[in-house]
């Protein structure tokens, strides 16, 4: 039996109507992985046995006539920086190559409660640091739309798995675009929730003031089902909150869409710009009002992000010391050398670059000039959005300035790679929710529209995304 | 431009053992990023409060209670003796 291209709703209905069993559904997706993933490399590990066991339990529930949660029996994939108890969690780093998660991330607890079937763990840029997926210590994920191109990062495998029908949905994490970027490049839907909407407990920390877990899926409906399952306050994450702004009586003709002029600048691919403007035009044709807004500090966002993030990384990654867990260099003959060699060899190039940058920016004499100043500019960036949202209900922009680029094209020049975050980074600095919605293709390469909402207005941006008519 | 010695010093603080070639490469990379972030000097930030988190949560407290944890943390240690982490001797 071949089951492909299913949405959560279709799979759920198929299970209810007994068109196929959860085990058949699971085997079908495992088959897809076997067939396709040798070319794509979306998965770092696949746990066939456990997946089938989970599916068997769902079939038992169906047989018993019990209530079937929406996600029950749905095959999914989890970014390999989210802890699934008993499975390896490598963060695509040599440092954690043999690390077995000793506890369950809160989002996984929630998915398990819904009886979702976890197929495996997906590839990423090492410790989620990268915009292309090429920084994985185990090799890059290739874009299912064109195997010579990157998937975008850092949730590279999570986007590719959904795009190539190797999972119905996946979880990724987003610090400055890591869900939206690969979603845009692979032509799937991605949601980066408001900071605090989803518990980060069990997510391997990168930059804690920015990291958020979110879903990648085939369509908006699926995205919403998964978001509803994982959201909410968690006592294990003190920055999580239980705020939800419901989107009641929403009418498209009352909608004011803000288009920030700073996001349509030189350097944006002409075709991308055309596709995005056409997509916005479609909303205008439906009756929405389009207004130009200004986010004047946009050009400082990447610089701000590339100070705040490395500072947080340099502190967060101090835990990898070769003592408690992870890689320990065996040749070291004193304690200092254990630290130096374990970290020097266990951590990859980009990770070390960011640790050095962050350590430098936080070091004595530089703190005020770099870190503190960046935090102040972050305030100005946040205020830009607050002002724009006085005029507009949502904002629409490109996710990325270009479609998927070639593998190897930017990897030699870190700064060039950092500039990929130009349209997604500011949104993260302000902590806002945003969707990446596939709205067109150029030379067969997908292009994503970014729909940015006010804090905790996920429901609204998802509803607006749905109006586009992809579902 | 940040100097080679500075990179060496910073890498030492961060406990990263680097080869000479790596130091040279990071010297170049870090310098180009530092040149780029220099643009923040043009922003007038006088009187602006810093933002550490976008969602302001203050004093999130909980009861200080012991909860059991049955995760097998010690199994993850690269080297141990009985139920202790084993490290190189510090006192000579």
Give the Cα separation of A58 and A242 in Å (integer): 30
Domains with residue ranges and CATH for chain B: 1-43 (1.10.20.60)
Query: For residue A437, what pLDDT is reported?
Result: 98
Chain B residues in contact with A323 (beta carbon < 8 A) = 77-78, 85, 87
Partner residue opposite A339 with nearest CB, options B15, B72, B73: B15
Q: Which of A193, A194, A196, A200 is nearest to A236 (CA)?
A: A200
Chain B residues in contact with A102 (beta carbon < 8 A) = 71-73, 75-76
Q: What is the DSSP letter of A133?
A: S
Give the Cα separation of A418 and A401 in Å (integer): 12
Helices (H) and strands (E) in chain A, counts: 15, 13
Partner residue opposite A352 with nearest CB, options B16, B37, B52: B16
Q: Is B56's Cβ below 8 Å from some Cβ in A?
A: no
Q: Which of A131, A175, A176 is nearest to A156 (CA)?
A: A131
Q: Which of A207, A149, A156, A202 is nearest to A180 (CA)?
A: A156
How far does the CA of residue A452 sit from the closest CA of chain B (Å)? 15
Q: Which residues pair with A46 in a beta bridge?
A: A120
* B71/A103 touch (CB, cutoff 8 Å), yes or no: yes
Give the Cα separation of A211 and A195 in Å (integer): 7
Q: How confident is the model at residue A429 (pLDDT cuts 50, 70, 90)?
A: very high
Cβ pairs A/B, distance under 8 A:
170
Query: For residue A471, what pLDDT is reported?
Result: 65
Partner residue opposite A379 with nearest CB, options B22, B50, B62: B50
Q: Average of pLDDT values for B9-24?
A: 97
Alpha-carbon distance values, A190 to A11, A151, A227, B54 (Å): 20, 13, 10, 21
Judged by DSSP in three states, A367 sits in coil
Query: For residue A141, what pLDDT is reported?
Result: 98
Q: Best interface-test mutation with B: which of A360, A370, A410 has the largest number of B CBs within 10 A?
A: A360
How far does the CA of residue A283 sit from the closest CA of chain B (Å)? 29
Give the Cα separation of A145 and A140 in Å (integer): 15
pLDDT of B92 strictly over 80: no
Q: What is the pLDDT of residues A271-314, one digit of tens each?
A: 999 999 999 999 999 999 999 999 999 999 999 999 999 999 99
How far does the CA of residue A326 sit from the closest CA of chain B (Å)? 7
Q: Is A84's Cβ below 8 Å from some Cβ in B?
A: no
Q: Is A256's Cβ below 8 Å from some Cβ in B?
A: no
Alpha-carbon dihedral sign for residues A452, A456, A462, A463: negative
Structure tokens at A155: 């949730």
* B2/A360 touch (CB, cutoff 8 Å), yes or no: yes
CA–chain centroid gap for A57, Å, is 29
Query: For residue A40, what pLDDT is reported?
Result: 98
User: Average model confidence (pLDDT) for chain A?
Assistant: 96
Regarding predicted confidence, which is higher, A22 or A1? A22
Q: What is the pLDDT of residues A314-360, one digit of tens each?
A: 999 999 999 999 999 999 889 999 999 999 999 999 999 999 999 99
* A195/B16 touch (CB, cutoff 8 Å), yes or no: no
Rg over alpha carbons for chain B, rounded to the nearest Å, is 22
Q: Average of pLDDT values for A32-50?
A: 97
Q: Which of A238, A218, A211 is nearest to A75 (CA)?
A: A218
Query: For residue A2, what pLDDT is reported?
Result: 67
Chain A segment 386-405 residues within 8 A of B by beta carbon are none
Query: For residue A265, what pLDDT is reported?
Result: 86
Structure tokens at A333: 């003959």
Q: What is the pLDDT of residues A212-265, one digit of tens each?
A: 999 999 999 999 999 999 999 999 999 999 888 887 778 899 999 999 999 998
How far does the CA of residue B77 sit from the closest CA of chain A (Å)? 5
Judged by DSSP in three states, A49 sits in helix
pLDDT of A74 strictly over 80: yes
Judged by DSSP in three states, A213 sits in strand
Alpha-carbon distance values, A221 to A224, A232, A239, A247, A373 (Å): 5, 19, 27, 15, 41
Q: Average of pLDDT values for A54-62?
A: 97
Chain A residues in contact with B13 (beta carbon < 8 A) = 359, 363
Number of domains in chain A: 1
A-chain residue closest to B40, CA distance = A300
Domain coverage including residue A70: 1-471
Give the Cα separation of A283 and A273 in Å (integer): 16
* B53/A102 touch (CB, cutoff 8 Å), yes or no: no
Q: Which residues pair with A441 in a beta bridge?
A: A446
* A100/B2 touch (CB, cutoff 8 Å), yes or no: no
Partner residue opposite A340 with nearest CB, options B15, B49, B77: B15
B-chain residue closest to A355, CA distance = B14
Place of tokens 């640790």: A355
Give the Cα separation of A258 and A219 in Å (integer): 24
Active-site residue set of A = 79, 154, 178
> What are the residues whose beta carbons fall under 8 Å from the beta carbon of A1, sequence distance 6 or more?
A20, A24, A27, A28
The H-assigned helical ranges of chain B are: 4-13, 20-37
pLDDT of A1 strictly over 70: no
Model confidence pTM above 0.90: yes
Chain B residues in contact with A375 (beta carbon < 8 A) = 50-52
Helix (H) or strand (E) holding A189: strand A189-192
Q: What is the pLDDT of residues B31-87, one digit of tens each?
A: 999 999 999 999 999 999 999 988 877 788 888 999 888 778 899 999 999 889 999
Partner residue opposite A353 with nearest CB, options B2, B29, B75: B29
Percent of all residues in chain A with a pLDDT value above 90, rounded to a whole number: 92
φ/ψ of B47, rounded to 5, equals 80, 5
Q: Is A195's Cβ below 8 Å from some Cβ in B?
A: yes
Q: How confident is the model at residue A3 (pLDDT cuts 50, 70, 90)?
A: confident
Q: Which residues pair with A44 in a beta bridge?
A: none
How far does the CA of residue B51 sit from the closest CA of chain A (Å)? 5
CB A177 within 8 A of CB A133: no
Helix (H) or strand (E) holding A446: strand A445-452
CB B55 within 8 A of CB A312: no
A-chain residue closest to B74, CA distance = A324
ipTM of the predicted structure?
Answer: 0.96
Chain A segment 5-64 residues within 8 A of B by beta carbon are none
* A328/B90 touch (CB, cutoff 8 Å), yes or no: no
Structure tokens at A339: 């630290």
Q: Best interface-test mutation with A: which of B15, B25, B87, B90 has the largest number of A CBs within 10 A?
A: B15
> What are the residues whose beta carbons fall under 8 Å from the beta carbon of A370, sequence distance 6 or more?
A307, A311, A361, A362, B37
Query: For residue A469, what pLDDT is reported?
Result: 85
Q: How confident is the model at residue A25 (pLDDT cuts 50, 70, 90)?
A: very high
Place of tokens 């990724």: A172
CB A100 within 8 A of CB A89: yes
Query: For residue A246, what pLDDT is reported?
Result: 80
Q: Best interface-test mutation with B: which of A376, A389, A454 has the largest number of B CBs within 10 A?
A: A376
How far does the CA of residue B10 sit from the closest CA of chain A (Å)? 6
How far does the CA of residue B60 sit from the closest CA of chain A (Å)? 6
Chain A residues in contact with B18 (beta carbon < 8 A) = 344, 352
Query: For residue A415, what pLDDT is reported?
Result: 87
Looking up residue A228, the CATH number of its domain turns out to be 3.90.1300.10
Percent of all residues in chain A with a pLDDT value above 70, rounded to a whole number: 99
Q: What is the pLDDT of residues A157-194, one digit of tens each?
A: 999 999 999 999 999 999 999 999 999 999 999 999 99
């Amino acid at each position: 039996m071949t089951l492909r291209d299913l949405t959560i709703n279709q799979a759920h209905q198929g299970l209810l109507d007994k068109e196929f069993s959860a085990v058949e559904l699971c085997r079908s997706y495992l088959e897809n992985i076997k067939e396709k993933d040798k070319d794509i490399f979306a998965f770092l590990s696949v746990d066939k046995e456990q997946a089938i066991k989970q599916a068997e339990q769902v079939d038992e529930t169906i047989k018993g006539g019990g209530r079937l949660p929406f996600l029950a029996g749905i095959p999914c994939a989890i970014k390999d920086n989210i802890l699934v108890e008993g499975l390896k969690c490598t963060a695509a780093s040599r440092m954690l190559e043999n690390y077995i998660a000793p506890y369950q991330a809160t989002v996984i607890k929630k998915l398990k409660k819904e009886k979702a079937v976890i197929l495996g763990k997906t590839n990423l840029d090492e410790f989620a640091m990268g915009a292309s997926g090429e920084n994985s210590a185990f090799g890059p994920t290739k874009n299912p739309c064109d195997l010579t191109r990157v998937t975008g990062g850092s949730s590279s495998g999570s986007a590719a798995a959904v795009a190539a029908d190797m999972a119905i949905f996946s979880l990724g994490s987003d610090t400055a675009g890591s869900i939206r970027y690969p979603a845009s490049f692979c032509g799937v839907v991605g949601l980066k929730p408001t900071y605090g909407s989803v518990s980060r407990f069990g997510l391997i920390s990168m930059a804690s003031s920015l990291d958020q877990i979110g879903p990648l899926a085939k369509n908006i409906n699926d995205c919403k089902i998964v978001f509803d399952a994982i959201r909410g306050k968690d006592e294990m994450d003190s920055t999580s909150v239980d705020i939800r702004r419901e989107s009641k009586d929403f009418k498209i003709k009352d909608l004011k869409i803000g288009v920030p002029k700073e996001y349509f600048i030189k350097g944006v691919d002409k075709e991308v710009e055309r596709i995005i403007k056409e997509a916005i035009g479609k909303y205008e044709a439906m009756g929405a009002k389009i207004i130009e807004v200004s986010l004047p500090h946009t050009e400082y966002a990447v610089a701000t992000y590339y100070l705040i993030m490395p500072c947080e990384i340099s502190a967060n990654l101090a835990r990898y010391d070769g003592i408690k867990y992870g890689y320990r260099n065996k040749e070291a003959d004193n304690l200092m050398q254990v630290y130096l060699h374990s970290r020097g060899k266990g951590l990859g190039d980009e990770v070390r670059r960011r640790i050095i940058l962050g350590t430098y920016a936080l070091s004595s004499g530089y703190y005020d000039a770099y870190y503190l100043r960046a935090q102040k500019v972050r305030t100005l960036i946040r205020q830009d959005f607050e002002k724009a949202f006085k005029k507009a209900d949502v904002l629409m922009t490109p996710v990325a300035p270009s479609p998927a680029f070639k593998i190897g094209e930017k990897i030699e020049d870190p700064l060039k790679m950092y500039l990929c975050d130009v349209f997604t980074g500011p949104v993260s600095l302000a902590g806002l929710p945003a969707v990446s919605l596939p709205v067109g293709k150029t030379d067969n390469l997908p292009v994503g529209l970014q729909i940015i909402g006010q804090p905790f207005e996920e429901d609204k941006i998802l509803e607006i995304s749905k109006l586009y008519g992809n579902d | 431009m940040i100097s080679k010695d500075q990179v060496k010093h910073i890498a030492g603080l961060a406990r990263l053992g680097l080869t000479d070639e790596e130091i040279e490469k990071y010297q170049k990379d870090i310098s180009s990023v530092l040149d780029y972030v220099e643009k923040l000097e043009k922003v007038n930030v006088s009187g602006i409060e810093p933002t550490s988190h976008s969602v302001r949560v203050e004093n999130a407290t909980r009861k200080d209670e012991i909860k059991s944890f049955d995760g097998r943390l010690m199994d993850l240690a690269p080297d141990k003796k009985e139920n202790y982490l084993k490290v190189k001797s510090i006192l000579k």
